[in-house]
Chains A and B, each alone.
Chain A
C-alpha cells in the first residue's frame, strides 16, 4: 500500500492504495465519488472521463499513483457554486442530451475539455472529439446539439428539432 494525495474538486484528499489501483477505483471506492462511471475494461467508452490538471483523462486508464499531487475534477464538482447546473449541464438537460445517464458524466467532462480548447466547435469537430465517448442511448444527436448550444451556437438551426 502506498499513500496517494491529490486535490479532487478543490478538496485535498489522500488514501492508501495498491500499485494497481486505478484512478477510477480510487474515486469511486475510496472517495465514494460514484458519478465517475466504468463502462469498459479497454479504455474505449469514456464513461470514466475526469479532468487531471485541466486535461480530459480516462480515469480507468491511469493509476491512482500517477495522479499523486494532481488537481482532479469530477462530475460532482461541475455544478455552479450555488448548486445550479453549469452551462454544459444545463444544455444537456435543455436539449435532452441524456437518457439513461450512464455515459453522461464522461460526456459532460469531455465536452468541458473540448470547449476549453475550442470555444465554438463545428458539428464535425464535436463528433470527432467525442470519438472516445460511447453513448448507446441517444444516437448522439442531442449530445452534439447540447454541446453546440453550450458553446452559444444555435443548434436548432443546424439540427432538426
Chain B
C-alpha cells in the first residue's frame, strides 16, 4: 500500500496552490518603491579592443540617472571562480580577470560594455543606443584545437596561451596505458562532440537591489539557486562589503538547472549601482539577453578509446577531451570538465586502468559552466557510446557486454578517485528489462517496419556522483568553498515547526518533501511543519541547491537538527512524566514511558519548553536546534535506460516511441516528486540528443539567440516516459539513505537516444558508427546516404 503521509508518501505539493493561482512571488514580480531600471549595452562582436566609449550624449537623454562603464569598476573586484584546478604538471590553472563591465577588451557576444540606469526601461534602452563605441574587431578564437596551438590569437592578452589547464586523472604512466592498449584483443575508438546547450529555465534572470542610506544595509533580490553563496562571493570577492550588511533573497525561482548557481555580473552591478545612484535598481533579462549572458553548458570534443581482452572484459580506457570554458571563468566552470567529469569515467564498470586527459580552453564565446548533470552527462555519453560501439564491432549483445563488466562488489574504489559505497547494477538492469518490455521489442520492430520505418533500441547505463563532498577532500581538490549544508528546526510553543534550510527550492518541491521527513520523525501531521528557504536573513547558512544534493546534504542537516530537538524534548517529557530519559519513547506525536501507559503529547512538551514552570532546571528553555552536515562521501545514484525510436528512412526524421528509465536513488521520500524530476531530466536529455544546439558562426556570432533558432523540446517532441525506481540500495552514509535524483534523467538519456538511432540505421542495413548530437533529420539523412 502506498503511504498517505510521511516518508515514502506521494504527498501533493503545497507550493502548487500559489503557482496555480498566479500568487507566486518571482523576482520580476518584486518592485521596490522608487526603483530605476538598468539596461546593459552588450558587445555585438565576439572579440575586440575597446578604443573609446563616449557616453556624453546618453547621459543627457531623458530619464537617465547614470551611465556606467568599466572605468567605474576599476577599484572593484572581478567575478570570482570558486574552484582552482591544478594542472597535470602541478601548476595552478590560468585565471584571468572577469570584470563586471568590460575593461580593455570585449571577449564574447553579449559581454557587457556599459550600463544605463534610467527612470524607465525604455529610456535606459533608448539612451544605450546613444552611446558611441569605437571597438577594433579582432579575430575570434572559436575552434578549441586551433586555440590550443602555439601562436594562436589570445583571448586574454596577459595569459601565456588559451589553455586554462591541461589536466589528468587516473593512470599517470603513459607507458603503462600504452601497454594495456597494445596487449588488447580489441580496441574501440570514437570521436565525439558533446553539443553546447543553453539551460533556458523558463524564468529569465532578474536582479533588484536596494540600499538603505540610514542603516547602510543592502538587499538584493535575485533569481538564484543559492543566495548565501551569492552573498559570500559578492561581498568577499567583488564589492568588498561586510556580509552582515547585505541580505540576499531568492524568492520563488522559475527553474535553474545549474545556470542560476553562479554569481553573475548583473547581480553585483545592481547592488553597486543602488548605492551609487541612490535608488533601487532593477534588471530583468530578456530571453535574447539570457542566451548571451547565462552561463551555457557542455561543449566538449573528445576522443575515447576502450581496450578489451579476448573475453570482452574492459581492460583499459583512455579519453582526451577539449572542454570549452568560453571567454571567462564562471563560478564553478573549472570543476565541471575535471572533478565532475573525469571522476565518472569508470561508470558502472570495473575497468582497471583509466586515463582521463582534459584541456580546458578559453574561446570568444559565452562562459560555460554547470548545466543539469554538469560533467557527468559528458562522461556518460562518451563511455556509453564507446561501449555500444564496441558491442556492435564485436557482434555481442550490448546488455550482455555491460553486465559482464559491471562492478558487483561494494564498496568499490575506482581508478579515478571515487569510492562507490553501494549499488546493484544487475538488479537495476533487471528492472529495466521488465519495465521496458525488451522481450517485446522484436515484435514492435516488425510493426514499425510494416509501416516503412526503421526501429531502434538504445540501452545505456549511468552512474553519477551527487551531494559533492566532503569539504576537506574537495578543499584538497581545489574547491574554494565548503560543501556542507545547514538547517534550523524551530519548534513553536504550540508544536508547529518552522525549518530554515540552506537548500533552495526552484521546482524540486522541498516545501512538501522536507516536512514529510520531519513530520515522520516526530509523528505529527505534515501540515504542522513548514520550510523557510531562500533568504539569508532567515536561514542559518546554506550552500544551496545543485548537484542533486538538497535532500542528501541539507536533508541530512535537517534530520540531525530534528534529532537534537527530539533529544531535548525527551528530557522535558521525562521531567513531566517523572521518568528516566532513557525510558522515553516518541511515537505518533506522543512521548511515553516504555512499558507503561503514561504519556504526554508533543504539543504539551513544546508548550512546556516555552512556559517552563514545571521544568528540569538543567535544561535551557525553548526548543530550537541547528545542525550543519558535511557528508562523508558523495552519493552514487545509478540506472539503466532504454529508448526506442522510429526513423523515417525517407526524411531522417527521428521520433521517440518509448522511453524507460530504471533508477536506483536509494530511499525515496516522495515518489511523485522523484518521478517528476526524472521526467524533466529525460525531457532535457532528449532535447540535447535530438534538438538543441547552441551554435556560433565563424566570427563568433551567436546563431541560436532566441527560441526561434534554439530548438527547445516541445510537448509533441517527447512521449510519456516509463519510470521505475524500485531498485533501491540505500546510501550507506547519510541518515536518510537517499542519493539524489535531480540530474539522473539528463545524464542517462542522451546516449540511449543516440544508441537507439544507430541501432535503427544499422537494422536497416546501414553501417553507421556515430552521429553527433543533436541527431537532426539532416544529419541522419546524411549518415544514411553517405
Contact = CB atoms under 8 A, between A and B. Distances in A.
Interface of A: 18, 20, 28, 33-42, 44-45, 47, 74-76, 78-79, 85, 89, 92-94, 96, 98-105, 108, 123-124, 126-128, 130-131, 133-145, 158-161
B715 A126 contact: yes
B16 A98 contact: yes
Looking at B201, B203, B508, the one whose CB has the most chain A CB atoms below 10 A away is B203
A130 B745 CA distance: 22
Chain A, interface SS category: loop
A102 B706 contact: no
B20 A47 contact: no
Contacts, number: 191
A158 B29 CA distance: 38
A99 B29 contact: no
Given A42-B708, A92-B20, 14 more contacts: A34-B22, A35-B23, A36-B22, A37-B203, A37-B254, A45-B202, A78-B22, A101-B15, A102-B255, A124-B716, A134-B707, A135-B202, A139-B681, A139-B686
26 contacts: A28-B29, A38-B204, A39-B203, A44-B707, A74-B22, A75-B21, A75-B22, A76-B21, A76-B23, A78-B22, A85-B21, A93-B16, A93-B17, A126-B715, A130-B715, A133-B715, A135-B202, A137-B507, A138-B679, A139-B679, A139-B680, A139-B681, A139-B682, A140-B714, A158-B720, A159-B720
A108 B680 contact: no
Contact of A93 (B12, B200, B683, B745): B12
Nearest to B18: A101
Interface string B720-735: 1111000000000000
B22 A33 contact: yes
A136 B257 contact: yes
B286 A131 contact: no
Nearest to B25: A34
Interface in B1-50: 12-13, 15-24, 26, 28-29
B252 interface: yes
A92 B718 CA distance: 19
B508 A99 contact: yes
A47 B202 contact: yes
Nearest to A103: B202
A37 B253 CA distance: 12
Interface stretch (B58-66, B315-323, B560-568, B670-678): B670-678
Contacts of A44: 706-708
The 3 closest A-B pairs by CB, nearest first: A35-B22, A139-B683, A101-B19
Interface string B680-716: 1111101000000000000000000011100011111
A136 to B, nearest CB: 5
B509 interface: yes
A9 to B, nearest CB: 10
A134 B203 CA distance: 11
B16 A143 contact: no
A101 B22 CA distance: 9
Nearest to A34: B29
A41 B289 CA distance: 10
B707 A138 contact: no
Interface residue tally on B, bucketed by range: 35 or more
Nearest to B660: A160
B434 to A, nearest CB: 13
B288 interface: yes
A104 to B, nearest CB: 5
A26 B760 CA distance: 51
Interface string B555-583: 00000000000000000000000000000
A27 to B, nearest CB: 10
A100 B16 contact: no
A78 B255 CA distance: 24
A153 B482 CA distance: 50
B202 A39 contact: yes
Contacts of A134: 202, 707, 712, 714
A102 B721 contact: no
B431 to A, nearest CB: 13
A46 to B, nearest CB: 9
Contacts of B745: 139
B506 interface: yes
Nearest to B707: A44
A130 B715 CA distance: 6
B287 interface: yes
Contacts of A89: 20-21
Looking at B20, B26, B286, B288, the one whose CB has the most chain A CB atoms below 10 A away is: B20
A161 B257 contact: no
A128 B716 contact: yes
B95 to A, nearest CB: 32
A41 B203 contact: no
Contacts of B507: 99-101, 137
Contacts of A78: 20-22
A108 B715 contact: no
A42 B22 contact: no
B19 A104 contact: yes
- The residue among A34, A40, A141 with the most chain B CB atoms within 10 A of its own CB is A141
B22 A41 contact: no
B715 A102 contact: no
A99 B682 CA distance: 15
Contacts of B200: 136
A104 B20 contact: yes
A158 B719 CA distance: 11
A74 B16 CA distance: 17
A102 B18 CA distance: 11
A99 B676 contact: yes
A89 B253 CA distance: 20
Contact of B24 (A35, A85, A128, A140): A35
A105 B22 contact: yes
B715 A93 contact: no
